[in-house]
Amino acid sequence: MIRAIIRSMRPGQWVKNLIVFAGLLFTLDRPHPATDYAMVVLAFVLFCILSGVVYLINDVRDADRDRKHPSKSQRPVAAGKLSPRAALTAAVVLAAVGLGGSFATSIKFGGIALLYVALMTVYSFSLKNVAILDVMTIAAGFVLRAVAGAAVIAVEISPWLLVCTILMALFLGLAKRHGELAELGEDAASHRSSLGQYTVPLLDQLINITASASIIAYALYTFFSKTGSSHPYMMATLPFVIYGVFRYLLLVQGGNGAANPEALLLRDKPLLADIGLWAIACALVMALS
């Protein structure tokens, strides 16, 4: 049963929680005690637990629909390998551990973690079925992670970083919807009602808008933010962002797994290498320039 619970917590999607390191990454130009690094790692672990709680609740909520889905039918609750009662019990226990640990870390961090769980729970029960609001809620979840990562080490997070985060999250969320429509075809609305409100041409337009806005916002960040002004070589990281967006668009339009962006990220070596090189470049610019 433990293995089924862990599978239901979707470890493959925990990569999303790496955004909590953004606050640390973009303040490497100032000294950080070893405890700051430990606190950000703890924040990452806590958000993995809390996101797992949301996935457990979501799997119970959507079990009937998941059984009709080509890939989601393999989820433990939908496949009958984990009972709904056991899944909900695990969710309650893990929520207590995750939120308890969050508030023990700091009141501010705990409040953000609680807001994240509440928002994602509302998403699971209603907002994911409302077009546009579904992807906006996902983007808000990324912003809360980024804010939490800054709060846990008591650093100010740049408004530019929040703008870049929400635009990039919207881009990924819309690409995911595009992939789901391509994968499920005419049956898409029966699996998620919001998919019946989207069309491929509309999603293509929205993806183009958010992709362009993401690149422009990041470019402006590297030039005009306080960080960019202090570290003019930050603009040298822009090509990595442009390549990453273009590479992802290439994969989306090719139908290469955009319905599961986390798996796509871990599977596509050029994209994974690009993100790694971007992070290294940012760290070097912040630390050395």
Contact predicate 217/244, CB 8 Å: no
Say yes or no: 131 and 210 in one domain. Answer: no
Q: What is the domain count for the chain?
A: 2
Residue type, 164: C
Range of the domain at 189: 158-289
Whether 164 and 288 share a structural domain: yes
Among 106, 93, 69, 111, smallest CA distance to 5 is for: 93
CA–CA distance, 69 with 232 (Å, rounded to integer): 49
For residues 41 and 168, state if they share a domain: no
pLDDT at position 192? 67
Cβ contact 157:112 at 8 Å: no
Mark whether 148 and 166 lie in a shared domain: no
pLDDT tens for the chain, 289 residues long, are 788 888 888 888 888 899 999 888 888 888 889 999 999 999 999 999 999 999 999 888 877 777 877 777 788 888 888 888 888 999 999 999 999 999 999 999 999 999 999 999 999 888 888 889 999 999 999 999 999 999 999 888 888 888 999 999 999 999 888 888 877 666 665 666 777 788 888 999 999 999 999 999 999 998 888 877 788 888 999 999 999 999 998 888 776 665 566 677 778 899 999 999 999 998 898 877 6
Of the three residues 141, 157, 173, the one that is the final residue of a domain is 157
Q: Phi and psi of 90, rounded to 5°?
A: -60, -40
Q: What is the CATH number of the domain that holds 41?
A: 1.10.357.140
Among residues 24, 25, 16, the alpha carbon closest in space to that of 47 is found at: 16
- Claim to verify: residue 216 and residue 139 sit in the same structural domain: no
Same domain, 138 and 266: no
Q: Which of 134, 157, 180 is the last residue of a domain?
A: 157
- How many Cα atoms are found within 13 Å in the side-chain-facing hemisphere of 9? 25
Same structural domain, 135 and 182 = no
Burial of 219 (0-12, 13-18, 19+ CB in 10 A): middle
Question: Domain boundary at 126, 141, 157, which?
Answer: 157
Calpha distance 237→148 (Å, rounded): 24
For 238-286, give the secondary structure using H, E and C: HHHHHHHHHHHHHHHHCCCCCCCHHHHHHHCHHHHHHHHHHHHHHHHHH
Residues 54 and 120 in one domain: yes
Q: DSSP character for 173?
A: H
In the numeric block, the tokens 């075809």 are attached to: 185
Q: Is 217 exposed, middle or buried (0-12, 13-18, 19+ CB in 10 A)?
A: buried
pLDDT on residue 92: 94
Question: Does one domain contain both 132 and 173?
Answer: no
The encoded tokens of residue 196 equal 């019946």
Q: Could you tell me if 51 and 124 lie in one domain?
A: yes
Q: What is the pLDDT, as a whole number, of residue 37? A: 93
H helices present in the chain, as ranges: 2-8, 22-25, 34-61, 63-66, 84-105, 107-125, 133-151, 159-184, 188-191, 200-224, 226-230, 238-253, 261-267, 269-288
Contacts of 284 (CB under 8 A, 6+ apart): none
- Report the distance separating Cα 71 and Cα 48, nearest Å: 22
Measure the CA–CA gap between 196 and 203, rounded to whole angstroms.
12
Q: What angle do CA 142, 145, 148 make, to 5 degrees?
A: 150
> In this structure, are 130 and 191 located in the same domain?
no
Whole-angstrom Cα distance, residue 113 to residue 107? 10
Does 4 lie in the same domain as 144?
yes
The answer to whether the pTM exceeds 0.75 is yes
